[in-house]
Every structure is written in C-alpha cells, then in structure tokens.
Chains A and B, each alone.
Chain A
Amino acid sequence: EAGVAQSPRYKIIEKRQSVAFWCNPISGHATLYWYQQILGQGPKLLIQFQNNGVVDDSQLPKDRFSAERLKGVDSTLKIQPAKLEDSAVYLCASSGWTSGGGDTQYFGPGTRLTVL
C-alpha cells in the first residue's frame, strides 16, 4: 500500500512571499490532516478534512493560511504572506477504515519550510 505523499520536501522562501504544499493521502482514506511541527515540539493540528469538507480549522491562522481538498482526495495548504515564525515542518496525515481503523493516522514525510 502506498503511503502519504507530500511535495515539495524542502522549501526556502523570503518573508512575505507565498508558498503551497501538496498532499496525496493513502487511497480510500476519507480523513486528511495538516499539522505544523516547529523544531523541538510536537505536531500541532492546523486543519482536518472529512472527504472534501472541513471538520476543524480552529487552529489555522486564517489571515494567512488556507487549505483545500477538492474532490476529497489531494489537498493543498497555502501560506500567503509567509512570516519568519512559519518556519517549520508541515506534515500531512490521513486516516480511514481501509487499514488500522479510523483512529490511526498515517503521516507523510513532511515539507520543511524555511522563511528568511
């Protein structure tokens, strides 16, 4: 079974620029999550999708972050404009009933963002 795919793996941008991350979840997984992991900390949930609908985006800084999951499969997370404090690893995860039950989340390798 293919895992969660993310791209790019690394991105370096200047502050005030925009950036987008892409995620392709495990086939058949209805739930998709985006996390932000700052160095030395655990992942923090930004947004959760169920199919193509948003379940929870309470911790997403909506003035600069946006995310969508068109057709309930792939998802993109965008930051515009980026700030220095956005430097982090952005992790995508998915969960579903195809394996492991709905509680287990499967993570992609992450995108490491550096904002200069």
Chain B
Amino acid sequence: DTEVTQTPKHLVMGMTNKKSLKCEQHMGHRAMYWYKQKAKKPPELMFVYSYEKLSINESVPSRFSPECPNSSLLNLHLHALQPEDSALYLCASSQIDNRVGGYTFGSGTRLTVV
C-alpha cells in the first residue's frame, strides 16, 4: 500500500460546527503532516508529527486541533472556523528522513466554511 487516504473528499461546514478530517497511511511512515493549500498557491505547513508526537506547530490558530491516535492515523479536528479557512487540506507522510522517498500526499479534503 503506497497511498495516503483522506476522508472526506469534500466538506461544507458552518462556523459553529465541529468536524474532523481523517488521514490514514500504511507505509510504515513515522512522520505525518497537515498542510493547507489555497487556490493557485503552494501548500503551507500546519503541523508535523514525528513518532506520533507533535513536533511542529506553525502558529496555527487553536480552532484547528491535530491528533495522532497511532502510527497510521492522523486527524484534524475543526471548531468555530472562519470563511477564510476554506481551502484544500492535505495530509502527507514520510519516513523520518524524507530524503529516502520524499513525502507522499493524499488527495486532500476540500473544505468550505459557510
């Protein structure tokens, strides 16, 4: 299995809703990432997990809450989002030394906040 699977593919949520994005990989990668991508822009790093522990938080607002329940799963919990948070959210994974194979990205969740 050489894929990163993200669900759901599309999500529309109101500003008072609570929702979660899910990401799963079975490549044995011990580093997992959340990125945010706005239209016509490169992905922006949000969080990095190494060995299931949060190692980097790029000053992301607390309305985004990541969770890594085990080495295969990564969640992003969303609460009280703003319309400007609408974007494509990408999950990625890699070996701890990413020079070996680079990052493997999922297809993303396209989030719309209304």
- Is B one of A's binding partners? no
- Which residues does A use to contact B, with CB under 8 Å? none
- Which residues does B use to contact A, with CB under 8 Å? none
